[in-house]
Amino acid sequence: MKMKLMILTAEPSFAKEAQSAGIDRIFFDLEYINKVERQKGRNTFISSNNIEDIPSIRNVLTSSELLVRTNPIHQYSKQEIDKAIDYGADILMLPMAYDKNDVEAFIQMINGRAKVSIMIETVQALTRIDSILALKGVDELFFGLNDLHIGLGLPFLFEVLSGGLIEYMSEKCSKKNMPFGFGGIARIGDGMLPAEKILGEHIRLGSTSVILSRTFKGEVGENNTKNINLKDEVDKVRSTIKIIENWNNSQFITNQKDIAEIVNKIVYK
């Protein structure tokens, strides 16, 4: 299955550019409930998007899918879900699920009107993944490394990958024929943990989706931006994936070891 590339934006002009560059999914984020408290002090994206801006994104999309991440299950989830669907969401993603009850409620509120994507990013959901996978109506899972590593008390998010937890969950998904994705990548050649190394694990484990980081928007630092050609950068990712798909087993094993070494150096630095 083709790897689906996703990018977060609430800007119609960038959404149109991303679609032209070959990005499969435009990711519109509504999640804000409790996120500031959970990810305090970390350089992570906290949404200030307005649900009323979804139509402006929908109107520029013809080939890319529109994925809307809702808030966790809360008092007004049904209204939020109904409006997101009315405004044209193709896929709705539930963050911070804790158990099958959260997922069942989400499925019922969507009621077949959009695809259902569930984030596994709490220790509770990780522990209860079998009961979540047993539910009918889930179209895909996405493993959120940011909140998972916080919940596990780990200092670096990719320790969830190098420590084998993503492999554990991917094996369960494979047995159920459940598509899944995880984490994000910087541009090819960028990042503390190189994007090509992470993509090697995506291919080895059978992942079908990944988020493209803010570096694909030219952001290389808090107050430092650089003009880039988005299509060129997306093409580099696609070319890298094609190369990795032809690796032999020994290359995948070497890549695993490289990732473990790099993560260990970062963790114990």
Statement: residue 224 has pLDDT above 50: no
Q: Which domain holds residue 218?
A: 4-267
Query: What does the pLDDT read at residue 61?
Result: 98
CATH of the domain at 84: 3.20.20.60
| E strand spans, 112-173 | 115-120, 140-143
Domain count for the chain, please give it.
1
CA 105/CA 58 separation, integer angstroms: 26
Give 219 or 113, the one with higher predicted confidence: 113
Query: What does the pLDDT read at residue 1?
Result: 77
Q: Kindly state the average pLDDT of the residues 239-248.
A: 98
Q: Kindly state the average pLDDT of the residues 39-65.
A: 82
> Using one digit for the tens of pLDDT, what is the confidence trace for 69-78?
999 999 999 9
Statement: residue 174 has pLDDT above 70: yes
Query: What does the pLDDT read at residue 223?
Result: 44
Element (H, E) at 224: strand 224-225
> Using one digit for the tens of pLDDT, what is the confidence trace for 76-91?
999 999 999 999 999 9
Give this prediction's pTM. 0.92
